[in-house]
Amino acid sequence: MSTQPSLTLQRRINAAPARVFRAWTEAAQLMKWMHPGDAEVTRADLDARVDGRYLIRYLKTDGRELEVSGQYLEVVPDAKLVFTWAWRSSPEQESLVTVLLRPDGNGTLLTLTHEQFVDEETRDHHQLGWGDGLDSLERYFA
């Protein structure tokens, strides 16, 4: 049995877990910080509760529009989010994202794990995107 590729990234965010959690679960905040690469969020619909759904639409500088959506599987306020992840262009390639928030002094240690990728190339693209997004989240709370 082969193991599907995954990635794990960590960041220390200069804000309490409750504030970081809201940045992930409130559309107005997510739109301000989630900027992977040259993409801007143009729409964010978030229903952050178990079985709730989300949709995020990005516009890249080359004019391409990307859309990702999924379902929240686990929501632990100020501590954990687990949700599915599927691009509109490849809905059959659903993967799984887990965001863990742990108090770290007056900040938060954020651990993001994205797993069940179809291949290593897809994982590598997401690693770059999540890296950019989490860098932007750090700046949002700087």
Q: Which two tokens stand for residue 36?
A: 């992977």
**Alpha-carbon distance 97 to 85, whole Å?**
7
Taking only the tens place, the pLDDT of each residue in 100-140 is 999 999 999 999 999 999 999 999 999 999 999 999 999 99
Classify strands 7-13 and 107-115 as parallel, antiparallel or unpaired. Answer: antiparallel
**Alpha-carbon distance 70 to 61, whole Å?**
24
> What pLDDT, on the 0 to 100 scale, is given for residue 36?
86
The label of the residue with tokens 């928030």 reads 101
Question: Domains, the chain, ranges and CATH?
Answer: 7-140 (3.30.530.20)
Taking only the tens place, the pLDDT of each residue in 7-65 is 999 999 999 999 999 999 999 999 999 988 889 999 999 999 999 999 999 999 999 99
* Whole-structure pTM value: 0.95
> What pLDDT, on the 0 to 100 scale, is given for residue 16?
98
Taking only the tens place, the pLDDT of each residue in 1-13 is 468 999 999 999 9
Candidates 73, 91, 92; CA nearest to 83 is 73
Q: 115 with 96: CB under 8 angstroms?
A: yes
